[in-house]
Chain A
Amino acid sequence: MDLGNINPVLLVASLMISATPILLAAIGEMVVEKSGVLNLGVEGMMITGAVIGFIVAINTGSPLLGFVIAAVAGAALSLSFGVLTQIFLSNQVATGLGLTLVGLGLSSLLGKPYEGQKTATLPKLDIPILGDLPVVGRMLFSHDIMVYVSLCLILAVWAFLKFTRAGLILRAVGESHDSAHALGYKVVRVRLLAIMFGGACAGLGGAYLSLVRVPQWTEGMTAGAGWIALAIVVFASWRAGRVLIGAYLFGGISVLQLNLQAAGMTWGVQYLSMSPYLITILVLVFISSNRSRSSHDAPANLGQTFHATR
């Protein structure tokens, strides 16, 4: 094993790439949960986004269009969850699981003919001046556009929730749907919009996996990334800035793990591959053990069904 082969500049650069899918999915899910809805179908929406984005990119030759359609597909799939939980008042946990199962089945059905094919990937941006900086340029300023889109999305969500009236309404709906309803806000409509935003973000995250990070389509390629995104929302205690920290932390772990494998650590490849999941568990334990704090952070109506009696 030769740890000297691990280049820190490349490590940070690839960390950003590997964190982006989880970051996109997690920020979307955070908005959904802020509105009081627990959508456990992130994995299913991500993998659907991955396969749709890949198919569109192959057939049109445009990865950007792939991203757009993947977001639309994610939103459409999440709308089925929204209709079931918000209009048919089904259990959110069970419906989310169902969404994941449907997404996994749908994606492997659609993706079968595309296995092993290659597609054009997103070009790296050439940012003048910043990109030419000695170390930092390689590290931070020579990525494709989606990396920066995801960072802008974090900023936008933070500002939306903190400074806008619509953001305040969304938070109110999540904290107490009965009060929000009594004030005349359309609880179901707000939640449906939030769910669709979450679906679109998960779709983008999935498309980033199949179009940039891998870039290929293989069945079940998300391999739990959607679930890790859910864990990151808990880790971040429902704050946009901490979602960024969480996603980059996990990106770092998975990159380091791959680098160790590549550096010739031959024993126990499986033990390295399971490390991101184990670390997720450890982090969840660490966060939840601080019980007095974490119970205050979760939106008060998270996962509860809203039924307007009047």
Chain B
Amino acid sequence: MIRLEKRPQPSRAWTVATPILAVILTMIFGGIMFSLIGTSPFEAIRTIFWDPLFHPQFAAFSRPQLLVKAGPLILIAIGLSIGFRAGIWNIGAEGQYIIGAICGAAAGLALYPMESALILPLMIVAGALGGWAWAMIPALLKVRFGTNEILVSLMLVYVAENLLASVSSGILRNPEGMGFPGSRNLSQWSSSQNLELIPNTGMHLGVLTAFIAVILAYVLLTRHIQGYNIRLTGEAPRAAKFAGVSPARTILFCLGTAGVLAGMAGLFEVTGPAGQVSIDFGSGYGFTAIIVAFLGRLHPVGILLAGLLMALTYIGGELAQLMLGVPGASIQLFQGMLLFFLLGVDVLTNYRVRFGASEVA
């Protein structure tokens, strides 16, 4: 007879070991999936996890991509993790990311073709505000009416996607683009371009911001009273209330932070790697960031590592599509499996597995 016994404290060793265990399990079951669709599992796993970094021919090209993809994932996941810690389930980061990109790009394009060093900072602020405002909708509705933030934030993703489709073929469309949807190329306009800070590393302003966010989140959660209040709200909501922590303020803070970070991530994406506001610039970072947040155990340093790993699966996935003809969706399934296994093995962190019949207390 196997039974579970709750640990008085989550196990530290398992907190670190479970993500690794989940990755190994995903590799095994992912390998089975790849062999089912007729690809050699060992070759597929090697192409996804090893070749982007060490392949003699492709690595020089794909290594910088690691930071390009990890940047937005980390930035968004940091924001989400703060909310998840407090039990606030913002799953609409994709929407906040899109609206941030639209607002930031609109603020910049309004000044086109002026040249000024202040335009990019202005766009970053506008992007952050756009993401913040979009996140304030579920936040205020939750504070004022107690509306479920999960459903509202998610519904707003679909609204944001429709808005994106509307503006990229409407008011933000490139007047010189011969009628094709999509805005002017922001990465080619010297005032708005978000270039690599160090050549051939993929390190652009967004990645730098992500690293700063990791540090700030670490300080917030471990050294600041607001971070303590957030953790308290998540772990013991009633105790937090008695201690005088305002639930409304926590909700506004958590969703607001997530919105600001996601909005900035969107803006950095359209001024850098994506280059323009178009219908499909998003790549689903807002949803993948949820996996990153959990894989990183909602801890800033963990998220940093998880973001890099997830970026690796993106690049490795593209490489596997190219070299092995693996369908793109299999990578999506692969990432979903990772989250699933992680949540499954998480039981080891909080519970002890006991064998044998239960003793009489």
Using a CB–CB distance below 8 Å, which chain A residues touch chain B? 40, 80, 83-84, 88-91, 93-95, 97-99, 101-106, 108-109, 112, 219, 223-224, 227, 230-231, 234, 268, 270-271, 273-274, 277-278, 280-281, 284-285, 288-289, 291, 294-295, 307, 309-310
Contacts and interface: CB of A to CB of B under 8 A. Distances in A.
B175 interface: no
Interface string B21-37: 00000000000000001
A277 B155 contact: yes
Interface stretch (B69-77, B224-232, B336-344): B336-344
Q: Which 4 A-B residue pairings sit nearest by Cβ, starting from the closest?
A: A105-B333, A105-B332, A102-B336, A108-B329
B251 interface: no
Given A89-B347, A112-B329, A224-B155, A271 B166 contact: yes
Contacts of A270: 162-163, 165-166
B343 A94 contact: yes
Contact of B151 (A103, A106, A109, A280): A280
A80 B114 CA distance: 56
A241 to B, nearest CB: 21
Interface string B301-342: 000000000000000000000000001011111111101100
Contact of A97 (B37, B91, B159): B91
Contact of A277 (B91, B148, B159, B331): B159
Given A93-B89, A93-B150, A109 B333 contact: yes
Contacts of B141: 281, 284-285, 288
B332 A234 contact: no
A223 B108 CA distance: 32
B287 interface: yes
A230 B336 CA distance: 21
A101 B165 CA distance: 23
Interface string B148-170: 10111011101100110110000
A268 B156 CA distance: 17
Nearest to A103: B336
Contacts of B162: 270-271, 273-274
B145 A109 contact: no
17 contacts: A89-B351, A90-B343, A94-B343, A95-B340, A98-B340, A101-B339, A104-B336, A105-B329, A105-B331, A105-B332, A224-B158, A231-B155, A270-B166, A281-B147, A281-B155, A288-B148, A289-B147
Nearest to A113: B327
A21 B117 CA distance: 53
Contact of A104 (B89, B146, B332): B332
A220 B158 CA distance: 12
Nearest to B33: A109
Nearest to B87: A93
A299 to B, nearest CB: 14
A270 B170 CA distance: 11
A98 B156 contact: no
Contact of B337 (A88, A102, A224, A285): A102
A91 B150 contact: no
B290 interface: yes
A307 B352 CA distance: 13
Nearest to B142: A288
B16 interface: no
A113 B231 CA distance: 47
A144 to B, nearest CB: 28
Given A98-B339, A230-B151, A274-B163, A223 B158 contact: yes
Given A93-B89, A270-B165, A274-B158, A291 B146 contact: yes
B97 interface: no
B227 to A, nearest CB: 21
Contacts of A83: 344
B294 interface: yes
A103 B91 CA distance: 17
Contacts of A97: 91, 290, 339
